[in-house]
Amino acid sequence: MDLTELLKIANAERNKQKSIRVHCCTSTGCQAANSLSVKNNLATAVKESGLSDRVEVVGVGCMGFCGRGPLVQIDPEDTLYEEVTPEDAPSIIDALNGGVVKPIQGDSQHPFFARQMRIVRQNTGKVDPESIEEYIAVGGYQSLYKAIYDLTPTEIVQEISKSGLRGRGGGGYPTGLKWATVAKMAGEQKYVICNGDEGDPGAFMDRSVLESDPHLVLEGMAIAGYAVGANHGYIYVRAEYPLAIQRLQKAIQQAKRYGILGSQIFESPFDFKIDIRIGAGAFVCGEETALIQSIEGKRGNPVPRPPYPAESGLWKWPTLINNVETLANIAAIIREGADWYSSIGTENSKGTKIFALTGKIRNNGLIEVPMGISLREIVEEMGGGVPEGEIKAVQTGGPSGGCIPASMLDIPVDYDSLSKIGSMMGSGGMVVMDRATSMVEVAQFYMEFCREESCGKCVPCRAGTVQLDALLTKIVNKKATMDDLTKLEALCQMVKDTSLCGLGITAPNPVLSTLRYFKEEYLELIQANNLDVSLTS
């Protein structure tokens, strides 16, 4: 395989594709809403109406508007249909022939779509994730070719550093710096790990990327391997994402068959193979040292850093660990250049970020927006606000993040602004809460989560989360006193300061941020107890 052959495959695929493509979402969300039957019926309708010469039905990845699935979109006229049932299929195909359009038509120019900027999700919803040819036809694997033949590993690392890309898994560590550290380590063996253990409840962007465009992640990993001098990669995926695993397996096989993965990639001396490792349901394995333990087949207990995985990681070899979304940005940066990428976003947060907009909000789903967009634009304009009543808070960053009150919706969404107000970007979950949601109960919900997910290795996290959960339960049950509140605050600080890994260090965040912005709710519950006490005595 060389560039001419790659372009030949791309051309052949483009010529093969018919002039009208009916895209039907086949991701987990839409499949749960029966999209596979919709797709079958659409295909039958095309055959029956005799349009097979110019129309084809294609199963594609996530279009983002998951709350209104199954989604069907017609390319190139860009008509969108929402909540399509299998019975709607004939009329959709009929409409292509000038028939009457059913009222299920959605608005593809809605701010939910129009305000987005797609870099990672550029192909999702347009290409068949199970076909490498479709990925190649939209320019896929050309960045890998460019990386191997036009750039040196050092130049690639410089390019990634210059782009300003930061880790999308939550930490926000500069990606270029991480790559440079691994690249300069000596060692006959190095590894690249793709962290697909998306455990934050309320976040599903990584699942969507893996299900909708698996080759994009493989390409990013191969470029990373070339840049840091690794020839073996692992993708660690949650077992809760069976469709993502299945599509990745298929994608790896296809890439191997074309000589794009494996030995002598594009007939160069560069070898790179990728294996999948499946998680078994442990939130802590999203932490990089725990993830490495899990890949080695052990309990997912974190180990103290330093040494960082960049120096001593998988089987003690230098290891580069990046999140799915981070790796999915790489091909675009190599293709378009660092200057282009760094022109998007804010001073310290470059590029775009995918958010999972869920909870009490009209438009549920995934959006990719440039960094620095205001939270209000996301929630009110793109998300359409809460269906009933008023918005109270937006939770970002999952169990490690915090709740942002409605009064602060105008803050720009970037790494620094979010951490300044006590929340964090996290992996990109945004759960909208309305006035009916009790913030103390939300804090307790997350604490219970952390208590159960604590691996038990270090005492502050193992015992601290149990005590914090007990104190919060006491407050929720109106059994607490002001002393308990003081204890809660002190214990939060202690767990934060002394825990071993990210899970424990960030576990108190939801409590601290709700205490900061919604303290009156805690006080009300405590006063309710005092009232009971004085009444009974």
Q: Residues interacting with other proteins, by CB under 8 A?
A: 28-29, 31-33, 65-67, 69, 198-204, 207, 238-241, 277-283, 294-300, 356, 358-360, 364-366, 395, 398, 429, 431, 433, 437, 445-446, 449, 453, 455
Query: How far is 357 from 216, CA to CA, in rounded Å?
Result: 23
Number of C-alpha atoms within 13 angstroms, CB side, residue 376?
A: 6
Residue 315 contacts residue 188 (beta carbons within 8 Å): no
Read off the amino acid at residue 18.
K
**Alpha carbons 35 and 85: distance in angstroms, whole number:** 8
Joined tokens for residue 302? 């974190």
* 103 vs 333: CA distance, rounded Å: 41
Alpha carbon separation from 234 to 218, 320, 324, 332, 534 (Å, rounded): 10, 10, 12, 21, 61
Could you tell me whether strands 429-434 and 391-396 are parallel, antiparallel, or unpaired per DSSP bridges? Answer: antiparallel
User: How far apart are alpha carbons 468 and 492 in whole angstroms?
Assistant: 7
As a three-state string, the secondary structure of 376-398 is: HHHHHHHCCCCCCCCEEEEEECH
User: What backbone torsions phi and psi does residue 321 show, to the nearest 5 degrees?
Assistant: -115, 120
Return all residues near 377 (Cβ < 8 A) that are at least 6 apart. Answer: 115
Residue 435 backbone phi and psi in degrees, to 5: -60, -25
C-beta of residue 125 within 8 angstroms of C-beta of residue 23: yes
List of residues 6+ apart from 428 with CB closer than 8 A = 168, 203, 205, 325, 353, 354, 355, 356
Closest approach of other proteins to the CB of residue 145, in Å? 32
For residues 136 and 442, which CB has a smaller minimum distance to other proteins in the complex?
442
Count the neighbouring beta carbons within 10 Å of the beta carbon of residue 427: 32
Cβ-count burial 181-203 (b if 16+ within 10 Å, e if not): bbbebeeeebbbbbbbbbbbebb
